Every structure is written in C-alpha cells, then in structure tokens.
Amino acid sequence: DGGITQSPKYLFRKEGQNVTLSCEQNLNHDAMYWYRQDPGQGLRLIYYSQIVNDFQKGDIAEGYSVSREKKESFPLTVTSAQKNPTAFYLCASSIAVAKNIQYFGAGTRLSVL
C-alpha cells in the first residue's frame, strides 16, 4: 500500500539532545512537509521541500533542521536549540506544492524527559 510512514510513534528527548524524526513516502511525491501541532491548536509549518536537495523554512523553523537527499525521505531533526519541543509532529507529502492534496503520516509524539 502506498502511504507515508513516520517513526517512531513516540519519542523522548533528554535535555541538550538532538533527536531525529523519520518520514518516508512511497507515493512518488515531489513535495514533502513537516508540521508541528500543539494541544488544541492547528498546524504550524516547520519546513517544506519541493524537490530533492532543496528545502525552505516555514513559519517556525528555528531549532529544527531537515535534509532531502532522497525523494522518499524527509527527516526532521529537533535540535537542542529548540527549547520547547514537546508536541505532535506531522509529516505530509503532495505531488507538487500548488493546489494539490497533502497526504499525512500518523504522526510522532515528542516529549522531553
């Protein structure tokens, strides 16, 4: 089945630690996205990528980094510079950026120990 796989489902970060969230898609989509969702709130865009080896900052990129070395993969690193990382992180992909449906993974819940 085609889809988007996020792992792990739950992740814990220690103080000062970097952690990486995985996002893989087998939909052959060019565009991929990372969103952050806080309790009772909407989605905020962290980073997006329109094509391999290219990515752009979203509204809340500080304290996060991404890479797009392969079309299928768009990992997100939450760095120690992100002081409030506890949230639900959602990865999405679409055929292209404009006017296209975004398909979402099941999410990763990150908590701080």
Q: What is the DSSP string of the chain?
A: ---EEEE-SEEEE-TT--EEEEEEE-S--SEEEEEEE-TT--EEEEEEEEETTEEEE-TT-TTEEE--SBTTB--EEE-TT-S---EEEEEEEESSSTT---EE---EEEEE-
Q: Give 63 or 107: the residue with its C-beta nearer to other proteins.
A: 107
Helices (H), the chain: none
C-beta closer to other proteins: residue 16 or 39 = 39
The stretch among 13-21, 40-48, 65-73, 74-82 that binds other proteins (CB under 8 A) is 40-48
Interface with other proteins, residue 16, by CB under 8 A: no
Our finding on whether 104 is near other proteins (CB under 8 A) is yes
Q: Is 43 an interacting residue with respect to other proteins (CB under 8 A)?
A: yes
Residue of 29, 46, 102, 110 that binds other proteins (CB under 8 A): 102
Interface positions with other proteins (CB under 8 A) = 4, 6, 33, 40-43, 45, 48, 50, 56, 58, 90, 92, 94, 97-107, 109
